[in-house]
Structure formats: C-alpha cells, structure tokens
Amino acid sequence: MIGMEVNFSCQTSREEETESLGFLLGSFLRGGDCIALYGDLGAGKTAFSRGIAHGMGIATPVTSPSYLLCNEYDGITPLLHMDAYFFERLESLLAEGLAQRFPTSILVVEWAEKMGDWLPTDRLELHLEHLEGGGRQLHFSAPAQRARELLESLKEAQKARKPVNPPTDSPVDPSKSQ
C-alpha cells in the first residue's frame, strides 16, 4: 500500500451528519495530524471541524476562525483550527512560530488550498460540495501513510456506528461509547 492514495466518498443530508463524521475522525487524531478542508462558503467546513473538536473531547464551542485566522482549543492534544482564506494575514503568524506547533498539535485548515507549502504533506484532505436539497457530498483523499491510516479508521468506524449522531452540545468520550 506504499504510495497508493486512498479515497472515500459519502453524502450527508444534514449538518449534524457532517458534524458526526468529524466526531468519528476526531476520536482517532493525534499530535501532528492535519486535516485539510476544501469547499465553498457554507459547504460544512466549520461543522466538520466542530465535530472533530467534540470527537477529541473538547467541550468549548467551536466557531469559524475566519476573522481571527486561528482558533486554538485546549484538549489532551491542542487543536489549531485555521482559516486560510485571508492567507496573506495568516502567513505572518505561521512565520512567527505558529507553524512550529504543527508537529505537537492537531491542525484543521479551512480553505487549505491557499496554504501552499505551509500545509503538511501528510494530510487527510476533505472536499465538501453542496448538493441539491441541502445535502453535502464529502470526498476524502489520503495520499500519505498517516492520512491513509486515519481514513481507513474513519471508514471502519462509519460502517460500525449506530445511526444515532453524537450530541452537538456536549462531546462524548469515544472510549466510553457502547
């Protein structure tokens, strides 16, 4: 499986389902992991990010980092939730040391296409698209080893999970799930 890209696509019909997939993924993340999010305004990038944070056990409300550029959430492993839409403003933060924190933090980047060489090469990529009727098409790609491991874990967890979505107002400890 060396050098082979792994892909996975699915659809969600509600924001809660998009968030629930993020929740599943969040339970597998560790320091140094990077999730690169791509999609138009309102495609579900922040909802997916909120799910990741809750899956990591972070209870703090998760909001779009649009104007702050980077929101940091404290957890067992710090979560850096970045918005690269205004990359020229973000680049100075990266150069001043924010990028040095990538190996020990979990990095979730909205508008990842704007990051260029600052984006880690081993990253799980998620492209979100609007569907007619309000649903979303999610397409994951994992070109590198750790990203492939994450995507395989997510695929297995989604197959095994119950149809009930985790609550969005309080994270659930995945180790205590039935």
Express each pLDDT in 79-96 by its tens digit.
999 888 877 766 766 667
Question: What's this model's pTM, rounded to 2 decimal places?
Answer: 0.82
Pick the CATH number of 6-160 from 1.10.287.180, 3.40.50.720, 1.10.10.10, 3.40.50.300: 3.40.50.300
From 9-13, 34-38, 88-92, 132-136, the region with the lowest mean pLDDT: 88-92
Smallest CA-to-CA distance from 140 within 20, 18, 37 is with: 37
* Alpha-carbon span 177 to 130, nearest angstrom: 31
Confidence bin at 172 (pLDDT 50/70/90): very low
CA quadruple 43, 77, 150, 141: dihedral positive or negative? positive
Confidence bin at 55 (pLDDT 50/70/90): very high
Token representation of residue 54:
């809750």
* Alpha-carbon span 128 to 164, nearest angstrom: 22
Residue 78 pLDDT > 50: yes
**Per-domain residue ranges for the chain?**
6-160
* Alpha-carbon span 4 to 6, nearest angstrom: 6
Task: Give, as one character, the DSSP assignment of residue 68.
Answer: T
Q: Which residue has the higher pLDDT, 98 or 72?
A: 72
- Position 65 scores a pLDDT of 78
